[in-house]
Structure 1
Amino acid sequence: MKNKGLKIFGIITSIGMLIVLLQGALVTKTGSAEGCGATWPLCFGEVIPESPALETIIEYSHRLWSGLMGLFVIILAVWSWKKLSHLRETKFMALMAVLFIMFQGLMGAGAVIWGNSDIVLALHFGISTISFASVVLLTVLAFENDLQHVLAPIVSKGYRIYLFFVLIYCYAVIYTGAYVKHTEATYVCGGYPLCNNELIPNMSGGLGFEIGVHFAHRVFASLLVIFLVILLIWTLKRFRTYKSLVWTSILANLLVFIQAAAGISVLYSDNYLTPALFHALTVTVLFTILGYMAMIITRNKTS
């Protein structure tokens, strides 16, 4: 088995990055973003905070783990660059992993020190998702290096364009979901599928903006389900001989329905945190799978 150490390190880093992402979601969903005050990298001006509150523990542990994983990502990128440079996607994925983990850290630090608008803060989760996906795909490349022939489905130009559209659209859904949380609009739209017992809710009045944000995310998320079903049908109809595309399309559809169920359960569950974190987890894995599909279909010219 080639590059055994790189594969193991890639798996460890992928798991570590998933923890970073979930920690970030936990910080946001528990309102712990100011758990260390307006100081960075120190916490309330201390290297190790004394008698920390729960919010401080959540924020401080996120900072420490993110810093450690930043180092791991850089090591993984350099290691992959040296060992897998003959694979066409390696350098791009290595650069993406490093750039986005750095961007993620700088955004987090900037938000603590200077603060940011909800529009900017919502980008933080999306950047974490791209960073995680890049690390996972680098790890996948390490495993693909054992294969005599890498997976390279030959698809039509239309299918390729549509898949990239779905990938980008999935990111937009991730962003709108993060924006719902940062604008504190999670519970302004009561019930499902109706919003406050209306098909199209009243968006005037004091909470009109928040209702509009929540309702827009619902619409975006519902369309994502439809787009992924279309992708699966197209795959089964035209490219069923490529098992890599068939199974990833099936998995993507399974995940989007699980993710939707988790999002809906947030509205009804007494334990808000568990379904909310699961909601974030599934959409992150979904985005990564779509990224993998996009990677393998670019390896050949159109049919």
Structure 2
Amino acid sequence: MNKGLKIFGVLTSIGMLIVLLQGSVVTKTDSGDGCGETWPLCFGEFVPASPALATLIEYSHRMVSGVVGLMVVILAFWSVKKLSHMRETKFWALMAVLFIIFQGLMGAAAVVFGSSSLVLALHFGISAISFATVVILTALAFEDGRRLPAPRVKKGFRGYLFFVLAYTYAVIYSGAYVKHTGSTYACAQFPHCGDVANFGFQAGVQMTHRIAAIVLVVLLFILFVQAFRYRYESKMLAGSGIAVIILVMIQAGAGIAIVFFPDAYLATALTHSLTVSLLFTVLCYMAMIATRNRAY
């Protein structure tokens, strides 16, 4: 069923992944000013003449974001038309449209007006939500016509799952804030920060994120154990729990590698950003299926 919607959903999900990675490249290479302070034009031109590398990075991100943004809107309306009998469809379709618009407006405002580190960090968090909405709409297309994953989970598990989901988003934000405050290498060692005498604002930002990330690993391990207990009730829930623990290990490894392998910064930083976005998406999906059956 809905073969066309499934294919389009997969393509849109891949497109969103590319946009997310492009956005990370823009941030990691400090190419945000690659088109000056003009938007949607680049230095007042539709196609920049003799562009520098930073201009190419920023301009290509804008072009791909525009195309994928249109695809997200089409996917949302198509999903509502074909999957309206599934109770989650309208919610995720609305979220997809709202957050892709919000994401675009925040990116444009950052270029034209400039933004604080707090707002710029939020831009990545919005991107993570946008990516999750598209992937979940695609998942709903694949679930249509099949027996839906609807595990009978305890209220306490649902509450803990939503807490971990919110905490994960906070950690995503804190990680983006590290970059946008220039605090990536404020601590040259791990797990401690090194010379306490030179401990300042940037080191504080870095250590706050590290501590929050370590706590997240513990929280996700507990979630994995809890989800795995439902393996006979729902293989999808248990499998998602396994995916979560694998992703957070990769993310943690990439975060540590950023410190010890600065020459490979772009590769490790992109891996770090990608895995946390995938992790957040899996948690959103777990939260969705955990609310389908509220038996107890």
What residue number does 2:286 align with?
293
Aligned residue for 1:110, secondary structure, equals helix
State the shift of 1:41 in Å.
0.5
Give me the CA root mean square deviation.
1.1
State the shift of 1:241 in Å.
3.1
Deviates more, 1:159-168 or 1:266-275: 266-275
1:258 to 246, 250, 254: 250
Unaligned runs of 5+ in 1: none
* Separation of aligned partners in 2, 1:108 and 1:79: 26
* Separation of aligned partners in 2, 1:233 and 1:135: 28
Contact kept in structure 1, 2:184 and 2:206, CA below 8 Å: yes
What residue number does 1:283 align with?
276
Contact kept in structure 2, 1:6 and 1:80, CA below 8 Å: yes
What residue number does 2:212 align with?
220
What residue number does 1:69 align with?
68
What residue number does 2:178 align with?
180
How far does the alpha carbon of each residue in 1:36-88 deviate from its partner, in whole angstroms, 9 at most, with x for none?
Answer: 00000110000000000000000000000000011000100000000000000
What residue number does 2:17 align with?
18
How far does the alpha carbon of each residue in 1:272-292 deviate from its partner, in whole angstroms, 9 at most, with x for none?
Answer: 100100000000000000000
Unaligned runs of 5+ in 2: none
Give the counterpart letter for 1:278 in structure 2: T
State the shift of 1:116 in Å.
0.6
Is 1:232 equivalent to 2:224 in the alignment? Answer: yes
How far does the alpha carbon of each residue in 1:78-103 deviate from its partner, in whole angstroms, 9 at most, with x for none?
Answer: 00000000000000000000100000
TM-score normalized by structure 1? 0.95
How far does the alpha carbon of each residue in 1:245-298 deviate from its partner, in whole angstroms, 9 at most, with x for none?
Answer: 111101100100110000110112112100100000000000000000000011
Aligned residue for 1:271, secondary structure, equals helix
Contact kept in structure 2, 1:203 and 1:212, CA below 8 Å: no
Contact kept in structure 2, 1:126 and 1:174, CA below 8 Å: yes
Mapping of residues 1-303 of structure 1, within 5 Å: 2-147=1-146, 149-196=147-194, 201=196, 204=199, 208-237=200-229, 240-269=232-261, 270-303=263-296
- Aligned residues with identical type, % of pairs: 62
Contact kept in structure 2, 1:174 and 1:283, CA below 8 Å: yes
Give the counterpart letter for 1:281 in structure 2: L
CA gap 1:186/1:85 in 2 versus in 1, 3 angstroms: same
Contact kept in structure 2, 1:118 and 1:179, CA below 8 Å: yes
TM-score normalized by structure 2? 0.97
Contact kept in structure 1, 2:151 and 2:233, CA below 8 Å: no
* Separation of aligned partners in 1, 2:214 and 2:47: 44
Which aligned runs of 4 or more in structure 1 are off by greater than 4 angstroms? 201-204
* Separation of aligned partners in 2, 1:218 and 1:168: 17
Contact kept in structure 2, 1:155 and 1:239, CA below 8 Å: no
* Separation of aligned partners in 1, 2:67 and 2:272: 25
Contact kept in structure 1, 2:244 and 2:279, CA below 8 Å: yes
How far does the alpha carbon of each residue in 1:8-29 deviate from its partner, in whole angstroms, 9 at most, with x for none?
Answer: 0000000000000010010000
* Separation of aligned partners in 1, 2:198 and 2:231: 44
